[in-house]
Chain A
Amino acid sequence: MKQGRNRAVIPVTPRGFKDVLPGEARWRESIISKTRKTLALWGYAPIETPTLEVLEVLEQGGTLTSTPFRLFDTDNELLVLRPDVTLQVARMAASRLKKEDLPLRLRYVERIYREEESQRGLSRQLTQIGVEAIGFSGMYADAEMVLLLVDTLRAAGLTDFTIALGTVGVLRELLELCVESKAVDEAWSAELIKAFHAGNYVAIEQLTNAPGLDARYVEILRVLPTISGKSEAVERVRKMVAPLGIVNGLEQLYDTYTIIEGAGLAPQVNIDFSVVSAFDYYTGLVIEAYAPGLGKALGSGGRYDRMLEGFGISAPAAGFAVSLESIMQALLNEDAAEQQEDTSDTLTVTISDGNPAEAFIKAKYLRSQGKVVTLEPENGTRHERRPLLLPMRRFSNE
C-alpha cells in the first residue's frame, strides 16, 4: 500500500458493512416495530445483549462457526463480536435469569457479525429479529415456534414464503448405530454430518461406501436427505427407521405438524429431512424459512435442549431468528416494499431575530399536536456543500 503524505483516503466503510440512510432507515424501523408488536402480543419480553462476548464463555454453549472479529481488551481477555444471539441468551438465562419463573419468553433485535468472503455480494453485518423460549418443550412448544415464525414474517409484510421443518434426532441416532456397529468411527460420523450440513449428497454416497457398513443404514443415510413433503414424509421416514428402533423426534415432529395443519398453515409449511442446521447445538426440531428469489434462508431456528447445560443449568430451549435485510430483499422481490419517502407533512417555523424564543415555543406547541416541525432562521443561512480541491487532509494517513 502506497502511503503518500498528501494522499487522500477514500471515505469507505469496511467490506461487508454499510451505512443506512434515512429512506432505508425508516423502512427498517417500520418493519422492526411491526414485528416487535407481534412478538409482544405472543407474550415475549424484550432483552438486549452485549455487542462483545468473552469467546471462551460463549463456546461453552456450542461451536462458533464464523467469528471474523476478535480482539483483546486491556484485561487481555479474548473477545468476539457476537456471531449469534442464541448462545448469548443461553448464557444470560443460565446466569442472570436463574431465579425467574420458567418458561421464559424473550425477544430481541440485534446486529450480528459473520464472515463472508470478499466479492460474493454478501454482508458481514446482519440484523436479526429473534425469540428464545426457555423452559418448555414438547409439541406445543415446537408448534408455537413455527406459528410465531409465520406470524412474524406476515407482520413484516411477507405473503410468499415457505417454511421447512426437520429433526436432527433421526440422523444423530442413526450415526450412533453406525459407530456402534464398529464398521466406522467417530471421525467418519463427523464427516457425514458435515456432508449433511453442506448438502453434499455425492459425499454422503461416497462416505456410505465404507466397507462393512450395514446395508440398511446405507440405504437410509442416502435416502433421508431426499425426503420432503407434508406429514406423509414423516410416516415414510418412520417406516424406514422403525425396524432399527429409532424413534427420536419423529413422533413429536408428526404431532407438531398436525397442529400446524390444524391451524391451516399446511400450504406454507413443509417437512424436509435435508434441513440440518450449520450450528451443532440443535437437538430436535430444526426450522428454516425461504422466500422466492432469495438464495439463502431468510430465517432459521429450532430446539437446543442441551445448550444451557454448557452454562451450568439444565432447561429445554428453542428459538428462531429472521434476518431483517433478507426480509427487505424478499419484500422487494414481492413488489411489497414500502414507500421510502417520509410522507408526514413537515411544518417550518421561521425564527425572527427580534424574538427567537417565540418560534421555539410555537414549534413546541405544534409538536404537542403531533406535527413534524423544523425551525428556519429568518435570513436563511443555509450552508452550501463545496467540494474541496486540495487533498482531503482529514482522511490522509498522517
Chain B
Amino acid sequence: MSNTNENPQMNNTTEDPQINKTEGSPHMNKLVGSPLMKKIGKGPQVKKPRPLKIAVPKGALFADSVRLLTLAGLDTTGLDDPGRQLIIETEDCRFFIVRPTDVPIFASLGGVDCAICGHDSLAEQELDMVEMVDLKFGACRFIVAEPKDASNKAEDRYQRRGVMRVATKYPTITQAYYDSKGIQVEIVKLHGNIELAPFCGLADRVVDITATGETLRENNLVIVDEVLESTARFVGNTASVRTDARIRALAERLASLV
C-alpha cells in the first residue's frame, strides 16, 4: 500500500469517480479488500488505490448521509438498504455503519479515513480530527429543561444548596456550559430517557438534545435555556486528510452540495 506515491492518481480518480463505477458482483466486491488482493496490490504495477474507509452514522442521520454521499458521486450501492450488514464494500469505498456516538473515536484513531458525524458527539468527546464541512442537515439544539410546574424550584434549590443537579447524556458539554455561567453543578450521567430524571428527584434540570421539542412537551418539560446548536459534519482523520487527496476532494464536493 504505497499510497504516498499514488497520490496524484488518487486525485484523478476523485475528480470523476463515475469512471471507476462498475456494477461489481458481490464476489468481486469481497475480493477487493481481501488479504490476497492487498498482497497483489503491493506490486509496483498495480495502481489501484486502497478503498476509502468511510463511517456512516446509523439512526437519524443515516438516510441523509447516504443521500449526500451519493450526490457527491460515490458508489453507495447496497448502503441505502444494508439490512444487518455493518460493512458495505463498493468499488472505491468501504462504508462502516457505526453508532453515532462512536463515530468520533473511529475517525480520531484512524479506524476510518473520514466520516459523517453530529456536531453534538464531536463537542462531547473533544477528540483529535479535522472537522471539514458543516453539512447543514440533522439540525438539533442542546437545551436546558425543567418540569413545567416546577418553575423556579431549581433556582431556589440552587440558592439553598449552592449546587445545581443536572441529568444529561452529555457531561462534557453540560460542564462547559455551567462553567461559563459560573454555576456549580453536580452532573448525573444517564444513557437515555433523560426526561425522567427531574420527576423522580434525580436532578433539578436536564441538558438534552431536541429537534422539534416534541418529546420535551410530551414529558411536561419546558426549555429554560439554549446551550448550543448542532448539525451533521463531514470529518476526517488528521493523518488521512494530510496523506490522501481523495478526502479533501470529497469535502469540496460535499461543501458545494450544501
Contacts and interface: CB of A to CB of B under 8 A. Distances in A.
B111 interface: yes
Interface in A174-208: 198-203, 205
Interface residues of A, number: 31
Contacts of A205: 134
B242 A288 contact: yes
Interface in A277-292: 288, 290-292
B152 interface: no
Given A120-B105, A201-B132, A295-B110, A274 B2 contact: no
Contacts of A291: 239
A235 interface: no
A120 B109 contact: yes
A201 B131 contact: yes
B1 A295 contact: no
Given A274-B242, A290-B243, A160 B110 contact: no
Given A228-B248, A272-B242, A294-B110, A200 B131 contact: yes
A162 B2 contact: no
B243 A162 contact: yes
A268 interface: yes
B210 interface: no
B186 to A, nearest CB: 21
Contacts of A159: 2
A292 B132 contact: no
Given A160-B1, A267-B4, A296 B131 contact: no
A160 B133 contact: no
A260 interface: no
Nearest to A203: B131
Given A120-B105, A162-B242, A292 B131 contact: no
B102 to A, nearest CB: 12
B110 A296 contact: yes
B4 A228 contact: no
B87 to A, nearest CB: 17
Interface string B115-134: 00001000000011111111
B239 A160 contact: no
Contacts of B129: 199
Contacts of A292: 1, 3, 243
B242 A275 contact: yes
A295 B108 contact: yes
A293 to B, nearest CB: 6
Interface string A202-222: 110100000000000000000
A93 interface: no
Contact of B130 (A160, A161, A274, A297): A274
A152 interface: no
Interface string A108-122: 000000000000110
The listed residue with most A CB atoms (<10 A of its CB), out of B5, B233, B239, B248, is: B239
A270 interface: yes
A321 to B, nearest CB: 17
Contacts of B5: 267
A270 B132 contact: no
B237 interface: yes
Contacts of A290: 239, 242-243
A226 interface: yes
Contacts of A200: 130-131
Contacts of A268: 4
A164 interface: yes
Contacts of A297: 238-239
B241 interface: yes
A159 B233 CA distance: 34
Given A274-B241, A295-B239, A201 B130 contact: yes
Contacts of A120: 105, 108-109, 127
A200 B131 CA distance: 4
A128 B15 CA distance: 39
12 contacts: A120-B105, A121-B109, A162-B243, A205-B134, A226-B252, A267-B4, A274-B130, A290-B243, A292-B243, A294-B239, A295-B239, A296-B110
Given A198-B128, A297-B238, 17 more contacts: A120-B127, A164-B243, A200-B131, A201-B131, A202-B134, A202-B233, A228-B245, A270-B243, A274-B242, A275-B242, A290-B242, A290-B243, A293-B110, A294-B110, A295-B239, A295-B240, A296-B239
Q: Which 10 A-B pairs have the closest CB atoms?
A: A295-B110, A199-B130, A200-B131, A290-B239, A162-B243, A162-B4, A295-B109, A202-B134, A164-B242, A290-B243
Interface of B: 1-5, 7, 105, 108-111, 119, 127-134, 233, 237-243, 245, 248, 251-252
Interface of A: 120-121, 159-162, 164, 198-203, 205, 226, 228, 267-268, 270, 272, 274-275, 288, 290-297
